Chains A and B, each alone.
Chain A
Amino acid sequence: MSAFDDDQDMRAHEDDLLSGRPVLSEPELVAFVAALRATADEPAPRPNPALAALLRDGLAPPAATDPARVRAPRHLWPAVRDHVRTVAGLGLGAKILLGAGLAAATVTGAATIDAVPDAIQGPANAVVSGVVHLFRPAAARPTPAPARTAARTAGPDPRPHAAAGVDPGAPTALPAPVAAPSPPVPAPSGPPVGTATVDPVLPAVPDIRALLRAPSSDPAVTIPVLPVIVVPPVIVVPGVLGQ
């Protein structure tokens, strides 16, 4: 008799034993199996309130739903999942660039879209203007334009002759032209009524929307759409982390 036959015989013997069939050679185990089986003949336990309610009332059949409403997420989720997997598969540098690009696009959009509230557009406008200012070629940067500044700020200038209603482009330190002498303009004693004050240290903020709409031939208004933010590499020392 082979080992396979032995195994088959042993399995048949155990199956008979465990299923409660009489096995004459092992009355002790037969009695044990019968006693264990008899524990299942005890009265059924009382169901708890939740199960009792279920046995009494049943369950409401699942409500019929609009197939279109059910299918939509199934079509949407794979696409979202694909995008997430694509981004997750990028390297660290690519993720940083992507994040910086998204942030720049968001700020630029907030600064240029008219529908954005002023409370958001103002700071965004200032940020984008600062970046644009950095990326302008030095030669193309306009010299401080007192006329634009005064026109936009309409406030007191630290220079003594800058005042509302006075041409601030006229150099106050130069002597007046001989051909057209003019009386000296009195220095203002304070901000004129009806004008707003601005921080005299900060340069005037140009209107970014006007800059973006300007023709691209003007080198002074060439704007980098996505400024690159360079993040210094972080060197991780394992010994330091372990402490």
Chain B
Amino acid sequence: MLDDFDDVLARAQVGSADAFTALYEDLVRPVAAYLRARGVREAEDVTSEVFLAVFTGIGRFVGEQAQFRSWVFTIAHRRVVDGWRKGSRTPLEIPYEADHDARTSCSAESDALDGLGDIRVLALLADLTPDQREVLTLRIIGDLTVEQVGDALGKRPGAVKALQRRGLATLRRVLLAEGVTL
């Protein structure tokens, strides 16, 4: 989060390189993580495309920092959808393989965090429907509210809450079935 967001935004809207860099460094990691979680193969390139679109359109943005974050993730979401429509990028489906499972014990939360690596997390996300996955990644990685997710996806808050609830229920069931006791 930027402490002087309003000033940075004002400078970015007149093309300041320093302001672009500040905004980029604030959001590039969650945006890249969101794209990876959504299964985008060329996540680095798409991340750059997202920020190019953000900076070239930032002159039209009006709002506060939370709204700016929501706007950036909305652009990222649209890039993901565009990529799927073009057929050049497909959701990354990672089948579960025991050899790749780094869990050796499930006795403590810290061990569980180590065991639930990127691959395992992506595999768990693959158990969800695309809409549930979209909602949970925007809620968790993007730090967006239910209303902001609804705006980004073009859904009503009630629909977002239902998807979120069903997604969490699926994850709960899968984690318990696999005996991941933490």
* Chain B nearest Cβ from A118, distance in angstroms: 54
A143: interface (CB < 8 Å): no
Whether A39 and B33, one on each chain, are in contact in the complex, defined by CB atoms closer than 8 angstroms, is yes
Which residues of chain A in 24-54 are interfacial with respect to chain B, using CB atoms and an 8 Å cutoff? 26-48, 50-51, 54
What number of A-B contacts does a CB cutoff of 8 Å give?
Answer: 127
**B residues touching A (Cβ–Cβ < 8 Å)?**
14-18, 20-21, 24-25, 28-30, 32-34, 36-37, 43-45, 47-49, 51-52, 55-56, 59, 109, 112-113, 116-118, 120-121, 124-125, 136-137, 139-141, 143, 146, 161, 164-165, 168, 171-172, 175-176, 180-182
User: Please, which residues of chain A bring their CB within 8 A of the CB of B161?
Assistant: 11
Q: Are A29 and B20 in contact (CB under 8 A)?
A: no
Which of A55-63, A86-94, A180-188 binds B? Answer: A55-63
CB distance from B180 to the nearest CB of A (A): 5
Residues of A within 8 A of B (CB): 10-11, 14, 17-20, 26-48, 50-51, 54-62
Known A29-B168, A32-B175, A61-B14: A44·B29 in contact at CB below 8 Å: yes
In whole angstroms, how far apart are the Cα atoms of A147 and B140 in the complex?
98
Are A18 and B121 interface neighbours, CB within 8 A?
Answer: no
Are B33 and A42 touching (Cβ within 8 A)?
Answer: yes
Q: Which residues of A contact B113 (CB under 8 A)?
A: 31, 34-35, 38
Tell me if B118 and A39 are in contact (CB < 8 A).
yes
Are A32 and B176 neighbours in the complex by a CB distance under 8 Å?
no
Kindly identify which residue among B14, B125, B180 contacts A28, using a CB–CB cutoff of 8 Å: B180
Report Cα–Cα, A62/B57, bound state, in Å.
12
Chain A hits for B165, CB < 8 A: 10, 14
